[in-house]
Amino acid sequence: MGRRHYNGLKTAGLFGLMWALVLAIGAVVDGGRYIFLFAAAGLLMTAFSYWNSAAIAIRSMHAYPVSELDAPEMYRIVRELSTAARQPMPALYVSPTAAPNAFATGRNPRNAAVCCTEGILRLLDERELRGVLGHELMHVYNRDILTSSVAAAFAGMITSVAQFLMFFGGGDRERGGNPIAMLAMAFLAPVAAMVIQLAISRTREYDADEDGARLTGDPMALASALAKLERGTQRAPLPANRDLVDVSHLMIANPFRGGGMAKLFATHPPMAERIKRLQHMAGEGGVTRY
């Protein structure tokens, strides 16, 4: 089924912009002599973050594994949805925090983990929890963990190179460097990389909303859950320490309290827009299950 909002195409276009930014940096630093070094560094960083994504996220949230006996409702819902999608059952975790949230991570469907906080398990009813878990499972099935890992690696590499330019420079005129261009790149590249990374994250959230609603066949359940999460995360935000900031893009709702300029640099699209899209899906009728 084609997506009305062309989220996949938007993601590909945003990655094209990220690659263009990397090539631009390579072109201004010593006349492009180090462009292949930058590309190799990006590949290594991507591989590391992708391979270790599950362990990093689970550790950051201090989550513990749960069985069917420990969390019967969560286990039953995930088993039903993964069976409907003809995918393996992921490992399940619960994070001992009152902040209501959930995330999925892992290299692929066979090495995936879904985590709910104790707060979200108390906040949502069964129908709403089903909507949230459908959303999280679609992040796994759509390979969004790979997408976010690649985007984060690109952004990190671009920022590191820009910092290098600021402190050490990247060459001189005789060797093909352009000091003015390098200075401009050092200031602007990290901002551009962050904006593109955030745009990719927001696009993947829209996609998981749409596909998760199709998996459950119930867009309004997820819409209701998102409305509760919007209020719940404002009442009980997570502390904005470095470990949690690094994994916040994986969560279904922005876990931090923020307003004003913070909204411009949020990893998640506006909750009102997400709810509006889900309401539109429900209004169209005929939502097809997997």
In the set 128, 136, 205, 210, the catalytic residue is 136
Q: Is the pLDDT of residue 172 over 60?
A: no
Q: What is the mean pLDDT of the chain?
A: 81
Specify whether the CB–CB gap between 252 and 136 falls below 8 A.
yes
When pLDDT is averaged across residues 119-141 and rounded to a whole number, the result is 97
Instruction: Give per-residue pLDDT as tens, 181-212.
Output: 666 666 777 777 777 778 888 888 999 999 99
What single-letter amino acid sits at 132? Answer: V
Count CB neighbours of 47 within 10 A.
13
Complete DSSP assignment for 120-165: HHHHS-HHHHHHHHHHHHHHHHTTHHHHHHHHHHHHHHHHHHHHHH
Stated as kind and residue range, the H or E segment containing 225 is helix 219-235
Instruction: Give per-residue pLDDT as tens, 87-116.
Output: 999 999 999 999 999 999 988 899 899 999
What percent of the chain has a predicted confidence (pLDDT) above 70?
71
230 is catalytic: no
Q: Higher confidence at residue 147 or residue 286?
A: 147
Specify whether the CB–CB gap between 203 and 7 falls below 8 A.
yes
Q: How much is the pLDDT for 280?
A: 93
When pLDDT is averaged across residues 78-86 and rounded to a whole number, the result is 97
Complete DSSP assignment for 236-272: SPPP--HHHHHHGGGBSS--S---THHHHT-SS--HH
Chain-centre distance of CA 256, in angstroms? 15
When pLDDT is averaged across residues 43-68 and rounded to a whole number, the result is 82
Q: How much is the pLDDT for 287?
A: 57
Q: Is the pLDDT of residue 230 over 90?
A: yes
Distance CA 113, CA 290 (A): 21
When pLDDT is averaged across residues 126-139 and rounded to a whole number, the result is 97
Distance CA 211, CA 216 (A): 9
Q: Higher confidence at residue 213 or residue 176?
A: 213
When pLDDT is averaged across residues 245-266 and rounded to a whole number, the result is 74
Q: Is the pLDDT of residue 174 over 50?
A: no
Confidence of residue 1 (pLDDT cuts 50, 70, 90): very low
| Phi and psi torsions of 69, nearest 5° | -70, -35
Q: Higher confidence at residue 81 or residue 256?
A: 81
Q: Higher confidence at residue 158 or residue 38?
A: 158
When pLDDT is averaged across residues 19-31 and rounded to a whole number, the result is 66
Distance CA 114, CA 137 (A): 8
Stated as kind and residue range, the H or E segment containing 218 is none
Stated pTM of the model: 0.79
Specify whether the CB–CB gap between 203 and 251 falls below 8 A.
no
Q: How far apart, in Å, are the Cα atoms of 57 and each of 5, 50, 116, 118, 242?
A: 29, 11, 12, 16, 12
Place of tokens 């009728």: 285
